[in-house]
Every structure is written in C-alpha cells, then in structure tokens.
Structure 1
Amino acid sequence: MKPVIALVGRPSVGKSTLFNRLTRSRLALVADAPGLTRDRQYGDGRMGDRPYLVVDTGGLAEGLEPTGKAPASIVELVAEQARQAVAEADAVILLVDGRAGLHPLDREIANHLRRLGKPVWLAVNKTEGLPPETAVAEFHALGLGRPHAVSAAHGEGVRGLVQAVLGTLAVAPEEAPAEEALPRIAVVGRPNAGKSTLVNTLLGEERVIVYDQPGTTRESIYVPLERGGRRYILIDTAGVRRRARVRDVLEKFSVVKTLQAIEEANVVILVLDAQAGVAEQDATLAGYVLEQGRALVVAVNKWDALDAPAREWLTRELHRKLDFLVFASAHYISALRGEGIAALFPSVDRAYASAHASLSTPRLNRVLQQAVQATPPPLIRGRRPRLKYAHQGGKNPPRIVVHGNLVAALPKAYRRYLANAFRKAFRLEGAPVRIECRQEENPYRPRPGATKKTSTKKSDRAGGGRRARIYKNKMV
C-alpha cells in the first residue's frame, strides 16, 4: 500500500494549500478564512517514482486531545476527523505559521503527537522572503527535530520536506486499478437533505461530518468504496441552494465544487428531503445533471418521518414536478436508519451500465423504423421529414445519431419520443438518451459560388436550333 502522510495543525496555517501542492490538484478549497476545511480529504501524490497518499484535515482550534465524550460541536467533530487521519497515517506533518510565530496550541498539538510514537515532521510555513534559520529558530522548542522552512503557496522547500518524509518510509508497489477507471458516484442535493448521512451509512463509518446545520459540508469529498465485490469512488458534495440565496463567498466556492463533481461523476444520486417536499431547486439541480448527460438515481430521504397521507402526497408531487425524470428509478430511504439502502446500489449499477451500453446499429435502425411507422414525424413547411438510418455516436450518455432529410428541423417533442423509444427497446435505465440529427445535403443543389456550365459543342447548338425551328413551324 502507498504510504499515508497526514497534515495537521491550527486553522489557517496553510494545510489545504500544501495539500494542493503535494497532489498537484485543486481538490481542497483555499480561502483567507479560518475553519474552511472540516472533513478529511485524501489525494494522491508522487515524488519521482515514489507514490504516496496525502490526508488534509481541518484546523484544530482546541487541540488533538480527546475529551472522552461524544463530539457535540463542529470544532469537536473536526478534531475527531483529524484524530482518525493521524491514526491511519504512516507519518504526520505538523504545519505551523512562521509569520505568526509559536502559538501555545502548537505546543499542545506537538505534545500529543509526540506521545503517539509515529514519525512527526515539523514544517514552518509562510517563510518566503525570510532567512530559513531565523524563521524556524523559535520552533525548535517543540522538540520535534529540525524544523523545515517551507512556502506551500510558492513551493519553496516542499520538495526537500517530502523527500525527508519518504526517506523514512518503506517503498510500496503501486496499486491497481487506478481511481480514474472506477465508477464515480456523486451524492448531491439541497443543504441538510442527508447526503453526508447517506455516505456514512454506505461506508459503514463516520467518514464525513454530520451535523444538524445546513452547510456543514463545504468541499467535495472523494471516498473509495467497495460494495458487492465492486469498487467505486463515492463523492460527498456540499448542498446547493438557489443562486439568489448564495451570498457568502465560501458557499459560492462550495457550489462550484459540487457542480464540478457532477461533471466528473458517472452516476449522480439526487437526495431529496421528504420532510421539505420537492422544491424548485431540486428540479433545477436535476435539470443540470441531465444537461451534463449524467446517469441519475433519485433517493427520497427521511421517508420514515412521514405518515401514510404525507407519503401519498409526496409521491404525487414527485411525479408532477420531476416528470422529466421518468427514466430514473426512485428509492424511498432513511439514511439514518439504513432503510431502503440495499436496493440503491443495484440501481446505480444499472444506470452506469446503461450509460456505457453499446447499441447495435441494425437494431437501432429497426427501432427507428418501427417508431416512425407508429408515429410519423410532423410536417415541416408542408413536407414530412424522412428519417433514413441511425447509429450510435457516443457513450456516457448514449448518443444516437439520426440521418435523413429535414431532420434538423424535428421538434423537441418528437426527439423525446425517439429517445423514449430507444430507451424502451434497449432497456436503458437511469441514463438520459441524446438524439443528434444530421441532415443530408441535397446533391442537386448548386454549390455557393459555382457557375452554370453551358455547352460549347457545335452539334448541341445546332440541335437546339433545329428543335426551336420545328416548334415554331408547329405553332404557325
């Protein structure tokens, strides 16, 4: 297995910036605000031929020492996430702020890490423009060995720090398959719909922070998951509110991360809050998922909190407001109690298979002809379009290209009819089908700029004259 390196420290010391530097990505949100990171974030890094795993953690506002009680606040939940990251790690990098100087909380965290008996490396961040010896002088008092002067924002001293950490860890072979080849499942929805609770239930552990407060999750958390003998990448995302209500800059960044997670996903689980009903924002978010061409599964959470009349009303609202999701399977679940979860992933597997299905061209043409015979396309400027043949033009989502005359002017309603016909014939569940129409050119239409050719043969001119004289004599 790859060596695991955990980044810990006080809030706003640059852990997420260093995480993005080590992973050469922008997975972690970075802003000039303390307490931005809450859940632990994993990322792959590489130094030469040495791969490793980096864990970003939230800022420790009250140290790492466990209280012995169940976490009751966001600060305690963040500290619990950091303790789990340290427990999983092979080495720990304690990050401190070189410009703010030594803080009493730095001493407390260092004392706790020292007692764990794991390799701990001290990195003094934000030392750009300062003499290294002067910048790290006071941090020798932490008793963690020689401090490393680094600048996560500019990359200064980072390479030497990672080389020193990896030099003490055993070399491990790389694992396969790569995460990019695994199905990516994004869990999206409005704030406080139960997305993080669902992720924790699927994982069987408190992997992400769950708190009775909207906006608890701020980043998209990528978590490996194995279920039923198959491996996935599960993505927990921040809740998306209406654009008019999003005013905080950090929330805007969180929404952007959620939209990016939808684009990267293969299948999206749309979580609805049964107690709040089906809102306009749910339909807007579902529409965005379809625009991106992602397979979709609907999970109506908190179903156990409704009585029979409320359930019947919500089912009608679901069919009325989300009627454009007729191809997606809906599951009524309770993420907190684990009810209805077992049937969720079989639908995810079917949606993923439908999105990547290979469609036979002969069968596509048979389905096309049957659909046209059952319901011919409407007249366009007095002429009926002629649909000649179809073939598959892409996957994820399935894209079917239809060739013919006047097909570019086919109305959207008829294209939806064709998409439903193909979906029903090939039993495509949970995946949107896109119809692309390619109109064939008229071979007899003169090309732009081309001039009409006239005959220069003497016989043609003479023949034309004879025909004209004959016609004139008959008229006379």
Structure 2
Amino acid sequence: ELVICVVDGTAEPTPADREAVQLLRRSDKPVLYVANKVDSPKQSLYAKTYYQLGIDNLFELSALHGQGIGAFEEALVAHLPKPASAPPPLGGKNSPRIAVIGRPNAGKSSLINHLLREDRLLVDDRPGTTVDSIDSLFRHGEEDLVLIDTAGMRRKRSVKGGVEGLGVLQSVRSMERSHAVILMIDAHRGPAEQDAKILGLAIERGRAMVIGLNKMDLLSEQERKEAMGKVRDVLSFVPWVPIVTVSAKTGRGVNKLLDTAVRVVGEHNRRVTTGQLNRFFSEVLEKHPPPTHAQRAVRLYFVTQAQVRPPTFVAVTNFPDHVHWSYQRYIVNQLRERFGFEGTPIRVRYRGRKRDE
C-alpha cells in the first residue's frame, strides 16, 4: 500500500537510484522518498540533487541521530489505512475510564495483573482501538470501571535535538481516552522528571489524577517518610493530587487506590451552583480584593461554572486581560479550599462584561 524509497543523502544519485525512481514513478503506488544520513547543510545540498529525478517531495533525515524523523513519521502515519469504523467503547456512557501509567518496574503491570486476575469481565483487543494499550472492563464495588492499560513508559535513547520519550507519547494517547490517570511510582526509586512531565500533560488535558506510591511495604518507617517527602517535593506543583501507598504485588492498598480514583472522577464531574459560587466570591473579594490595574480597581462582577471535566469557571470582570497571575492562583486555591476538587485541575477564565449583564 506504500513504498518507502531510501537513498544515500551524502552522495549524488547513482544509476541504480535513477532506475528505481523511474520504476516507482511509473507505478500506481504512493511513494515516500527519504534521503538518509543528512546531518549538515553541506550534505543537504547533495540530497537536493534527487529533485532532478522528478521527485515531488524528499524527506531529508538522519536515522542515526534522529534529525528530521518527526516530519517523516507524520507523513507515514497519514498514509496508513483508516479503520472502516471504530469499535464501540467498553463500559457504559458514564463508566469511569482510568489510564494506569508508570515507568518500567513502577508496578503498573503488577497492579493491572492483580486486578484482572479475578475481576476481568472483558478485554478489548480488537484492531482499531489503539496500538499500544488494552481496555479492560471490571467491577469495583458497585461500579464498572474501564482500565486503560498502557505499555510501560520507556525513554528513547537520547538523540541530538531532544527527541521526547516514547513513553510520554503513549501516555498522552491513553490520557486522551481517559477521565483519570493513576500514575504509579516506585517508592524505592522515587519520582523522576518524566513523572512530573506526565502530570503536567494531564493538567493540560484536564484529567483527574491519583499517585500510587508502590512497594512501600518493603521500606522501613523512616524510609517511608522520606519516600513520601520526596514525592511531595519533586511533584510540589500538584499538592492537590492524592497519594495512595500500595503494594501492587500483594494487593495491599489497591482497593483504596481505586476508591480514590473513583472519588477524583466524581470531583472531576462536580458542578457548583451559581448561587454558591457568588456567595463564595463575595467573601473572597471582601477578604482580599484583586490588585489594581493602571491605578484603576479591577472588579469581579460574578462567576459561573461553564463546564465539568475539568471544572471550568468563567469570571466576569472589567479588566479580563489584567487580573494579576498571583490573584488568579489565589482564586483557584480558594476554590479548592471551599469546594474541594481533590485530584482534578481547575480552570478559571476571565472575560469582559456584556452590555446586558
């Protein structure tokens, strides 16, 4: 269905190259032409001589060093056949969908295996769902949950240009189909930069979050305190995300972890009435009014909740573009203090007042 023609980008076309291109141009197959080993502008000059053969588009890249791979991958994916129709999702319309994410050996597989050994109802492994995850439906208490089981997150070999870890891409795909994320962390190794990056992506995509701190049963009391402190220190930008200590291998704490995941999904769906919000805002403004802008008072007239998943609020003000960032953060913190919203991002948008308001 697709031909990839790879040539040496450090040399001019050979007779064999010319013959191959002529043959491919006469065929009715789509072709992606790739000039490999292009690591410098000088080598790029050689690669461009292939356009003389009638090639419309040539991808210049270095397979060894990862340069130019991204554009080629996008073109390759664009040529892949699309499934005739996507299979229907598992579970009911309101079944919580929870992605379990973790670096290799963090305990993700042990957690999944412990849960599905007895509770599995159905595994969705049909083509067209996803290339790197499996959805499993099982009963937890009175609720059907859909677990999105991803492959362990592994980082690609470091290459020039800073290619992102493959695991991050897998995690993003799983997040986009989930309501909540369980991030498994090995208590022995502690959190890493990649764990912080995954939680940051979850915030951007508005997903609820829980941290499962695994293998805590193997640590002493002092080591447990240190492990918990390290997680809170490295992931200090999400103090509102609950941490549950577990042993995925023995099952200790697993029910509490799932209970917490279900709870944060509920917070993710939580709606606060406009009356409650405006009473809250009146108290907040009286206690701490917003900073002025250009010596003029910034007024917040009223607030309403626009949506859930994640909870999103709209505040009407006379200076929507000049509400100080520190005051915006203060408003979010006050919303958490009053209404909870455990484990879920909160968004507050500011807009100007309309004439009829």
TM-score (ref. length: structure 1): 0.50
2:90 touches 2:135 (CA, 8 Å); kept in 1?
A: no
SS of aligned partner of 1:197: helix
For residues 248 and 149 of structure 2, the distance between their equivalents in structure 1, rounded to whole angstroms, comes to 14
Kindly name which structure, 1 or 2, has the bigger radius of gyration based on alpha carbons. 1
The aligned length equals 260
Q: CA deviation at 1:326?
A: 1.7
| Displacement after TM superposition at 1:393 (Å) | 0.8
Q: Distance in 2 between matches of 1:253 and 1:434?
A: 29
Task: Note the C-alpha offset of 1:177.
Answer: 8.4
Deviations 1:1-33 (CA, angstroms, capped at 9, x unpaired) = xxxxxxxxxxxxxxxxxxxxxxxxxxxxxxxxx
Distance 2:233 2:291 in 1: 27
- Residue of structure 2 in register with 1:439 after alignment: 352
1:411, distance to aligned residue in structure 2 (A): 2.7
Does structure 1 retain, via aligned residues, the 8 Å contact 2:107–2:248? yes
| 1:400 pairs with one of 313, 326, 329 | 313
Q: Of the two structures, which has the highest relative contact order with CA contacts closer than 8 Å and spacing of 6 or more?
A: 2
Q: Which amino acid aligns with 2:230?
A: E
* Partner of residue 193, structure 1: 106
Q: Is residue 369 of structure 1 aligned with residue 277 of structure 2? A: no
- Give the aligned partner of residue 181 of structure 2: 268
Structure 1 residues 391, 253: closer, same or farther in 2, change over 3 A? same
Q: For 1:29-78, what per-residue CA distance to the aligned partner results, in whole angstroms no more than 9, with x for missing partners? A: xxxxxxxxxxxxxxxxxxxxxxxxxxxxxxxxxxxxxxxxxxxxxxxxxx
| Equivalent runs, 1:370-385 vs 2, <5 Å | 370-385=283-298
Residue of 276, 279, 288 corresponding to 2:201? 288
In 2, the alpha carbon distance for the partners of 1:377 and 1:244 equals 48
Aligned-partner SS, 1:224:
strand
Q: What is the alpha-carbon distance in structure 2 between the residues aligned to residue 330 and residue 253 of structure 1?
A: 25
Structure 2 residue 134 is matched with structure 1 residue 221? yes
Counterpart residue type for residue 328 of structure 1: V
Per the alignment, residue 75 of structure 1 pairs with none
Correspondent of 2:251 among 315, 338, 354: 338
Which runs of 5 or more residues in structure 2 are unaligned? 1-79, 121-130
Please give the secondary structure, in 2, of the residue aligned with 1:324. coil
In 2, distance between residues paired with 1:266 and 1:238? 18
Cα distance in 1 for partners of 2:267, 2:326 equals 23
Cα distance, 1:180 vs structure 2: 4.7
The aligned residue for residue 337 of structure 2 is: 424
- Among 116, 124, 137, the alignment partner of 1:203 is 116
Counterparts of 1:376 and 1:187 in 2: how far apart (Å)? 41
Q: 1:387 aligns with which of 300, 304, 308?
A: 300
Q: Residue deviations 1:397-444, cap 9 Å, x none?
A: 00010001113222332222211212222222211111111123699x
Q: Which residues of structure 1 form unaligned runs of 5+?
A: 1-152, 159-174, 208-217, 444-476
CA contact (8 A) 1:219 1:254 kept: no
AA partner of residue 322 (structure 2): A
Distance 2:283 2:112 in 1: 43
Preserved contact between residue 332 and residue 346 of structure 2 (Cα < 8 Å)? yes
What are the equivalent positions in structure 2 for 1:22-421 lying under 5 Å apart?
178-205=91-118, 219-242=132-155, 245=158, 255-421=168-334
Cα displacement (A) at 1:202: 2.0
Letter in 1 for 2:150: T
Compute the RMSD of aligned alpha carbons.
2.9
Instruction: Tell me how far apart the structure 2 counterparts of residues 433 and 377 of structure 1 sit (CA, whole Å).
Output: 19
How far apart are the structure 2 equivalents of 1:154 and 1:433? 38
Percent of aligned positions with the same letter in both sequences? 35
Q: Structure 1 residues 295 and 411, CA, compared in 2 at 3 Å: closer, same or farther?
A: same
Q: Distance in 2 between matches of 1:204 and 1:258?
A: 24
**What is the one-letter code of the residue matched to 1:272?**
I
